[in-house]
Homo-oligomer: A and B are copies of this chain.
Amino acid sequence: MAPKEEGLPSGKGPAATRAARKPRRPAAETREDILNKAEELFRTKGFTNVAMADVAAALGMSPANVFKHFHSKAHLVDAISVRHLEAMIERLARPDDHKAPPERLLLFVERLMESHLRDLQKSPHIFEMIVFSAGQELPCAEQYREMLIDDIAQIIDAGIESGVYHVKDSRKTAEVAAMALACVLHPVLIAKEKADILATRCREVVALIDTALQNPLAK
């Protein structure tokens, strides 16, 4: 049996003793290592087949050390998703301020959908991660929702200003529009759908939303 100090977070022994045994690495680096290895394993072995202990073993770490950084597989999934999300937001950061709001809305949704499709094709484990985290209310889901609603609300505000949209509460309306867009944005609903069907669906659903935005709310 391995000595207890090897990997388990003791947190009690003097730091100097531990440092003498093993050179310390910054926690942020270890965290990145764990995320990279976990994604590599998810990709190669399938998300559901990889346990926290497998990630630890592949890194030559103790499971306890991995758990010190990520309390559960859900925390790991959340951190990986946040990385994907931040990379995506960076890729998508192309404001189309000069275009008419209806056109901006379509461009925004199309670009987001295509970005999701590329991610899913490149990293099929994302699909499994999302199914796994459905209903778990991970912070990454809330972050995605906020990003989506902010961007749509901004386009709606521009449309109100230019007189093309007739909306009272842009934020609230953006929330509803974001929900209606699940059929072209939610990974589970698009991952296995044909590209041309999705392209048509995207145009049609955005046209429906756009018609609603251009008119005062019914009733």
Contact = CB atoms under 8 A, between A and B. Distances in A.
Contact of A207 (B183, B213, B218): B218
Given A183-B182, A218-B102, A177 B210 contact: no
A219 B135 contact: no
Nearest to A219: B102
Interface residues of A, number: 36
A44 interface: no
A204 interface: yes
Copies in the complex: 2
A56 interface: no
Instruction: Report whether over half of chain A's contact residues are helix, strand or loop; otherwise say mixed.
Output: helix
Contact of A179 (B176, B204, B214): B204
Which of A131, A180, A182 has the largest number of chain B CB atoms within 10 A? A180
Contacts of A212: 208-209, 211-212, 215
Contacts of A214: 215, 218
A148 interface: no
A36 B158 CA distance: 56
Best-surrounded residue of A184, A191, A205, A212 (most CB of chain B within 10 A): A212
A86 interface: no
A217 interface: yes
Nearest to A180: B180
A214 B211 CA distance: 9
